[in-house]
Every structure is written in C-alpha cells, then in structure tokens.
C-alpha cells in the first residue's frame, strides 16, 4: 500500500483555513490523489458534489489555496518497502552488536527475537551501534572473569532501564586495573625500601 508525502507547510497553512476547506482537502487527499493535478479537477469534483451543498467558489478557493504546495506533484511512498528496509537495517545493526558481544565476551548469542528486540529498542531510543559497543566494552572490563560474567548478555546490557547508566558510567574496570598496578608498584617500592633499611 502506498502513501503520499505531504509537505509539513501544507498542514500548518491549512490549520488556519475554515473547516470546510480542511474537510475538502482531507477528502481529496484520501480519495482523489491521482486526479487532483488534472486541469478540470475542480469542475468534475463540483459536479460530483452538486447535491452536497458545496459551491464551485468554495471548491475553487480550496483548490487554489492548496495546490501550490503540490506543484511538483505528489511523492508516493511505498510504506511496505520502507518498513522492510527499516527492518533490514535493524537486523544488520543487531548482527553487528551480537557479533561484537560474542567476540568480546566469548559467548554464542544469536539473533533471537528477545535479543533483537533489546537492541532495536535502544536504536529506537536514539542510541547507536557504537554506543552499544561502548557498553559491551565497559561491562566486559567490569564483569569478565568474575561472578558477574553471566550478565554479559543482550537482555542485561541493552535493557531500557539500565542502558543509559551503563553507557555514561566511568570506565571503572580500566581504572581499577590501573590503580591495582600502581598500588602493586608502590608496595614493591615500599618493600624494597624497608628491605634496604633492615639490611
């Protein structure tokens, strides 16, 4: 089923017109899209509506007001094709995210409906695939090789309630590792100093 693309300016302008003109255009856009641009459309429409208390002057006024918005004709949008293309984009993004998670966490998640829905939800919220990679990296740094490793899964990482917090939290895992290395180095230096003082 095809839909037409209507300029936003048309809706803004028609909102200021009398109700009868708005009603006429709704009918035209719903039932006469292929005929509106024909030169004799007003006359033919007026003849059709002769028993409906619509006069030619009102129809001409409506037509002259609105037709300027459609001088280049109507753009038809194939809604089915658009939905199919969007679905494919989501599936491609989900595949990238799942592949990356499997690589980082050494898991074997698939494009199950639950996993795809989690990822699609975050994409719909305006997050990107790169944002999801960031969350995977941060949580892998924190959870990999400990008892929280089981939470390195799509349903946890990409859940609506926690995703933004995960994305925006500090990279605790990396900081902790650096701090531990520094602490170990400091302890070794201190031990060397003490050992030197004893001997």
d(CA 35, CA 37): 6
d(CA 170, CA 16): 51
Q: Would you say residue 95 has pLDDT above 80?
A: yes
Q: What is the pLDDT of residues 128-174, one digit of tens each?
A: 999 999 999 999 999 998 899 999 999 999 999 999 999 998 765 45
d(CA 196, CA 46): 107
The whole-number pLDDT of residue 1 equals 47
The whole-number pLDDT of residue 158 equals 96
The C-alpha angle 17, 22, 25, rounded to 5 degrees, equals 130
Higher pLDDT, 11 or 164: 164
What's the mean per-residue pLDDT of the chain?
81
Specify burial of residue 45 (Cβ count, 10 A radius: 0-12, 13-18, 19+): buried
The whole-number pLDDT of residue 175 equals 43
The whole-number pLDDT of residue 28 equals 87
Split at pLDDT 50, 70, 90, the class of 191 is: low
Handedness of CA 5, 9, 12, 13 (dihedral sign): negative
Whole-angstrom CA distances from 163 to 23, 56, 66, 82, 191 are 45, 59, 46, 28, 43
Mean of the pLDDT values across residues 16-31?
87
pTM exceeds 0.75, yes or no: no
The number of residues making up the chain comes to 199
% of the chain exceeding 90 in pLDDT: 39
Q: Would you say residue 187 has pLDDT above 70?
A: no
Split at pLDDT 50, 70, 90, the class of 4 is: low
Neighbours of 70 (CB within 10 A): 17
107 backbone dihedrals φ, ψ, rounded to 5°? -115, 180
Question: Which neighbouring-strand residues pair with 76?
Answer: 4
């Amino acid at each position: 089923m095809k839909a037409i693309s209507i300029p936003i300016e048309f809706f803004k302008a028609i909102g200021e017109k009398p109700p009868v003109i708005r009603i006429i255009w709704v009918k035209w856009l719903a039932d006469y899209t292929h005929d509106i641009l024909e030169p004799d459309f007003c006359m033919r429409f007026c003849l059709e509506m002769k028993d409906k208390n619509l006069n030619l002057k009102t129809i001409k006024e409506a037509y002259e007001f609105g037709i300027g918005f459609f001088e280049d004709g109507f753009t038809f949008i194939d809604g089915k094709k658009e939905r199919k293309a969007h679905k494919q984009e989501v599936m491609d993004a989900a595949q990238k995210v799942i592949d990356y998670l499997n690589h980082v966490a050494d898991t074997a998640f698939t494009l199950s409906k639950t996993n795809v829905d989690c990822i699609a939800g975050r994409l719909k919220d305006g997050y990107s695939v790169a944002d999801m990679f960031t969350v995977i990296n941060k949580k892998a740094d924190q959870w990999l090789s400990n008892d929280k490793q089981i939470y390195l899964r799509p349903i946890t990482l990409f859940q609506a309630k926690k995703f933004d917090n995960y994305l925006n939290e500090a990279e605790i895992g990396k900081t902790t590792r650096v701090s531990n290395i520094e602490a170990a180095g400091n302890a070794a230096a201190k031990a060397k100093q003490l050992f030197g003082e004893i001997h």
